[in-house]
């Protein structure tokens, strides 16, 4: 009896910058995908990227979606352009997955989500660290009640970004082009994981500043204290000012006294298409009774995985998104998860501007 072939969806990419190569690699190797085209406002960049992939190049997103009959679009443009691309995809009936963040402000975020709902398309947001094995262990332990109730989340991201990073694209480091700094560009992964573990936040008090990147407009350092709807609390410390970068970690402490945690990034968070090597993530804290000795075996297991951290987990998340379309279900990281991240970093900026804690959910 012959095996039923995997259905294939026509996939495409808008924005041919650094992270687009990671999406392209996934789409060209996933059995659910047939990568047909790419789009960029820069004609030469679109042509060059398309030539490497042997697909067609476009400079007009609506035209590409229409002519190529695209099923799924990856949005890899600069941050401020993500919502507009979602709306164009929605108007064409094309499912869309956006690089983080979904938007840089709540108004455009909500317009994009509303457009997706009205069109009946799937809308997802990249947060590939959810699929890290050490992170999945944490989620499973929390859901199984091994910590009692999760009562304290501690996020610490102490990284570094060279001045060359901000010069690599003219929009980086600007309010108009990037929409924010470390809390918008690097922190969404950690904010998403924290929300996934702890649930929705109801209050945030935050501060930001710029300490050693004089050429940028936006924040390179952020701290925030959070109260969750569950009654738990969170502490977030974010920085791009440690040279060299130290680590990115998330730790969850429970009412039972047990704690779990992971170092998701050793050194600075990687830059897709630029960073040459990244150490695998690993669990760095685990005090669940009877499981304390698992750390050593897990460490060796995680360090021996054969795949590239910088591309493998994007591929796994994009596979989940394609499957969500084929199975008509919500993707693991949906639009509402993306909105929670936008809400949290918006609250940081409002808290400093208004010199007061912010009640969540925020109004636009």
Q: Do 123 and 35 fall within a single domain?
A: yes
The band of 270, judged by pLDDT with boundaries at 50, 70 and 90, is low
CA 357 to chain centre: 25
Q: Where are the beta strands (DSSP E) in 15-160?
A: 33-39, 56-58, 72-75, 95-98, 123-125, 150-158
Lowest mean pLDDT among 73-82, 204-213, 302-311: 302-311
> For residue 262, what is the domain's CATH number?
3.30.360.10
Note the pLDDT tens digit of each residue in 42-75: 999 999 999 999 999 999 999 999 999 999 999 9
At residue 169 the predicted structure's pLDDT band, cuts being 50, 70 and 90, is confident
Cα–Cα distance for residue pair 206/355, rounded to 1 Å? 9
Q: What is the pLDDT of residue 269?
A: 82
282 with 324, same domain: the answer is: no
Residue 323 counted as domain residue: yes
SS3 209: strand
Coil/strand/helix, residue 133: helix
Q: Which residue has the tokens 């900026």?
A: 349
Quick one: 27 and 57 in the same domain? yes
More confident residue, 41 or 6: 41
Question: Does residue 363 fall inside a structural domain?
Answer: no
Q: What is the pLDDT of residue 2?
A: 52
Task: Give tens-digit pLDDT for 203-240.
Answer: 999 999 999 999 899 999 999 999 999 999 999 999 99
pLDDT at 363 over 90: no
Q: Residues 55, 163: one domain? A: no
Asked if residue 102 belongs to a domain, the reply is yes
Whether residue 200 is found in the same domain as residue 137: yes
Statement to judge: residues 17 and 146 lie in one domain: no
Provide the residue range defining the domain that includes 289.
131-308+340-358
pLDDT tens track for 32-43: 999 999 999 999
What value does the mean pLDDT take over residues 117-145?
98
193 is written with which tokens?
């994981």
Residue that is written with structure tokens 């809308």 in the block = 123
Is residue 3 in a domain? no
Distance of CA 56 to the CA centre of its chain: 27
Is there a single domain that holds both residue 165 and residue 124?
A: no
pLDDT of 1 higher than 60: no
Claim to verify: residue 119 and residue 137 sit in the same structural domain: no
Q: How many CB atoms neighbour CB 329 within 10 A?
A: 12
CATH of the domain at 92: 3.40.50.720
Give pLDDT, residue 268: 84
**pLDDT-based confidence at 4, cuts 50/70/90?**
low
In what side-by-side order are the strands of the sheet with 56-58?
A: 56-58, 33-39, 9-14, 72-75, 95-98, 123-125
Same domain, 284 and 151: yes
Q: Is residue 142 assigned to a domain? A: yes
* pLDDT tops 80 at residue 276: no
Confidence of residue 272 (pLDDT cuts 50, 70, 90): confident
Q: What is the pTM of this model?
A: 0.96
Question: Is 1 inside a domain boundary?
Answer: no
The proportion of the chain whose per-residue pLDDT surpasses 90, expressed as a percent, equals 89
Instruction: Select from 88, 136, 47 the least CA-distant residue to 316.
Output: 136
pLDDT at 340: 98
The chain-wide mean pLDDT, for the chain, equals: 95
What is the SS3 string spanning 137-152? Answer: HHHHHHHCCECECEEE
The larger pLDDT score, comparing residue 71 to residue 5, is at 71
How many structural domains compose the chain?
2
Instruction: Please check whether residue 189 lies inside any domain of the structure.
Output: yes
User: Do 175 and 67 fall into the same domain?
Assistant: no
Is residue 205 located within the same domain as residue 320?
Answer: no
- How far is it, in rounded angstroms, from Cα 5 to Cα 186? 39
- The answer to whether residue 337 scores a pLDDT higher than 60 is yes
Report pLDDT for 3.
63
Q: Is residue 4 part of a domain?
A: no
108 and 238 both lie in a single domain: no
Distance of alpha carbon 148 from alpha carbon 260, whole angstroms: 12
Interatomic CA distance for residues 181 and 275, integer angstroms: 19
Contacts of 73 (CB under 8 A, 6+ apart): 11, 12, 13, 14, 65, 85, 89, 94, 95, 96, 97
- pLDDT at position 358: 98
How many angstroms separate the CA atoms of 296 and 298, rounded?
Answer: 5
């Amino acid at each position: 009896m012959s095996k039923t072939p995997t259905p294939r969806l026509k996939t495409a990419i808008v924005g041919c910058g650094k992270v687009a190569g990671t999406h392209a690699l996934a789409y060209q190797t996933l059995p659910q995908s047939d990568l047909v085209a790419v789009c960029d406002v820069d004609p030469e960049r679109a042509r060059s990227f398309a030539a490497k992939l042997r697909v067609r190049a476009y400079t007009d997103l609506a035209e590409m979606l229409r002519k190529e009959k695209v099923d799924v679009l990856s949005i890899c443009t600069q941050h401020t352009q993500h919502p507009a691309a979602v709306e164009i995809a929605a108007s064409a009936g094309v499912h869309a997955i956006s690089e983080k963040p979904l938007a840089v402000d709540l108004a455009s975020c909500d317009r994009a989500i509303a457009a997706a709902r009205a069109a009946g398309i799937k809308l997802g947001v990249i947060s590939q660290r959810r699929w890290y094995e050490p992170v999945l262990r944490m989620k499973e332990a929390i859901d199984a009640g091994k910590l009692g109730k999760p009562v304290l989340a501690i996020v610490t991201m102490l990284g570094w970004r060279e001045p060359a990073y901000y010069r690599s694209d003219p929009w980086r480091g600007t309010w108009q082009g990037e929409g924010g700094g470390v809390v918008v560009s690097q922190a969404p992964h950690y904010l998403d994981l924290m929300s996934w573990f702890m649930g929705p936040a109801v209050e945030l008090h935050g501060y930001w500043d710029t300490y050693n990147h004089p050429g940028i407009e936006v924040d390179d350092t952020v701290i925030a204290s959070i109260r969750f709807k569950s009654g738990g609390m969170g502490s977030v410390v974010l920085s791009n000012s440690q040279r060299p970068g130290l680590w990115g970690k998330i730790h969850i402490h429970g009412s039972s006294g047990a704690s779990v945690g992971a170092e998701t990034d050793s050194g600075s968070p990687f830059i897709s298409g630029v960073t040459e090597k990244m150490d695998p993530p690993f669990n760095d804290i685990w005090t669940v009774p009877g499981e304390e000795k698992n750390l050593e075996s897990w460490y060796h297991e995680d360090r021996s995985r054969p795949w590239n951290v910088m591309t493998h987990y994007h591929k796994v998340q994009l596979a989940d998104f394609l499957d969500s379309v084929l199975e008509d279900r919500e993707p693991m990281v949906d639009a509402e998860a993306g909105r929670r991240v936008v809400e949290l970093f918006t609250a940081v900026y409002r808290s400093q501007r208004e010199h007061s804690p912010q009640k969540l959910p925020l109004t636009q």
